[in-house]
Structure 1
Amino acid sequence: METKNRTLVNQLEEILEKNRDAQKGYAKAAENAKDQNLKAYFENKSGERSTFNQTLNKELVASYDEIETEGSFTGSLHRGWMDIKAFFSADNDESMLEEAIRGDKAAVEEYEDVLDDKDLPANVASIIREQLIKIRTDLNKVKSMEDLVD
């Protein structure tokens, strides 16, 4: 694979990895959340990130090579930290919302970086843009939810 394509595939694999981590993180947040509405929200977001990856992975396999399917080590550490915060935090739900905000902000940056690549195929760019819009919407929603929990 050309170096230019390899760099792009690496960036896209990073997005897949971050989405796997987000999926697992949201699932973990759902386990830790006390409020039933918040629990349902986190479960929904976990499923959504799984769908993101299925869509993106299908397109990448068709356009490039087989893509890695494991979550990142840093994501595992982050989920472990969420467990610790849930255990020690006086306000568990607020902690989970703060983590969701932090994770979504990082995802927005990563998606924007990939969209800056001029060699990004139009079909992949379309998927990335769609997912970025959804993550930005989620970020705004979770910020408003945090205000309600305060």
Structure 2
Amino acid sequence: MNNNERAIDVLQELNQFVNDRIEGYERAAKNTHDPAHQSYYKDLMNQSRQFSNEINSSISSLGGTTQNNTTAKGKIFRGWMDVKSTVTGNDEEALIKSNITGEEWAQKAYNDALDHRTELPQNVVQLVEKQKQASMATCERLRQMEKAAD
């Protein structure tokens, strides 16, 4: 497998998670009773769509097929799907906790992708690092929301 093929594989796997993230925040936006939270979750949905587009653009530039699936692939994706399935529509704190867990899974997915940094073009490494930083900031904000919901 050459570096382009490996990079495409890494990015396709990462993008499956990003697509699951879109679904997770879509669900959170529908289930929350807090208008401010709903607005934030919709922003995160849009951010995730932008992330997916950026990753797909990188995949295309490397000669690969874009990834639009939300199929659970590997432990990361199954874990996120399990978390999403336990969300209840009437418990704000459980919803926030689920989103925190999802972002923790996201960071694992970004770290897994970055474990292959030597096989990735520098611009792709920078893209993945930028998205990971955004995920970390989201996780921090969600933890603040959780404290406020206590």
TM class by shorter chain equals 0.7 to 0.9
Q: For residue 38 of structure 1, what is the aligned residue in structure 2?
A: 37
CA RMSD of aligned residues (A): 2.0
Q: For residue 137 of structure 2, what is the aligned residue in structure 1?
A: 137
Q: For residue 27 of structure 1, what is the aligned residue in structure 2?
A: 26
SS class of match (2:119): coil
Quick one: which amino acid aligns to residue 137 of structure 1? A
Deviation beyond 6 Å, 4+ runs, structure 1: none
Displacement of 1:57 in angstroms is 0.7
Q: For residue 147 of structure 1, what is the aligned residue in structure 2?
A: 147
Aligned residues: 144
Displacement of 1:6 in angstroms is 3.4
Provide, for residues 33-54 of structure 1, a one-character-per-residue CA deviation record: whole Å limited to 9, x for no partner. Answer: 0011111111110110000011
Q: What is the TM-score when the length of structure 1 is the normalising length?
A: 0.86
Q: For residue 86 of structure 1, what is the aligned residue in structure 2?
A: 88
Displacement of 1:76 in angstroms is 8.9
Matched, 1:48 2:52: no
Q: 1:65 to 1:114 in 2, by over 3 A?
A: same
Quick one: which amino acid aligns to residue 58 of structure 1? S
Q: For residue 108 of structure 1, what is the aligned residue in structure 2?
A: 107
SS class of match (1:18): helix
Quick one: which amino acid aligns to residue 29 of structure 1? A
Is this contact kept in 1: 2:83–2:98, CA < 8 A? no
Provide, for residues 48-98 of structure 1, a one-character-per-residue CA deviation record: whole Å limited to 9, x for no partner. Answer: 00000111111211113112311114489447614xx315xxx52111111
Provide, for residues 10-53 of structure 1, a one-character-per-residue CA deviation record: whole Å limited to 9, x for no partner. Answer: 22111101010000110100000001111111111011000001
CA distance in 1, matches of 2:144, 2:50: 24
Is this contact kept in 2: 1:25–1:79, CA < 8 A? no
CA distance in 1, matches of 2:103, 2:55: 18
Point out where structure 2 has 5 or more consecutive residues left out of the alignment. 73-77
Q: 1:134 to 1:76 in 2, by over 3 A?
A: closer
Sequence identity (%): 21
SS class of match (2:68): coil
Point out where structure 1 has 5 or more consecutive residues left out of the alignment. none
Is this contact kept in 2: 1:18–1:75, CA < 8 A? no
Q: What is the TM-score when the length of structure 2 is the normalising length?
A: 0.86
Is this contact kept in 1: 2:8–2:62, CA < 8 A? no
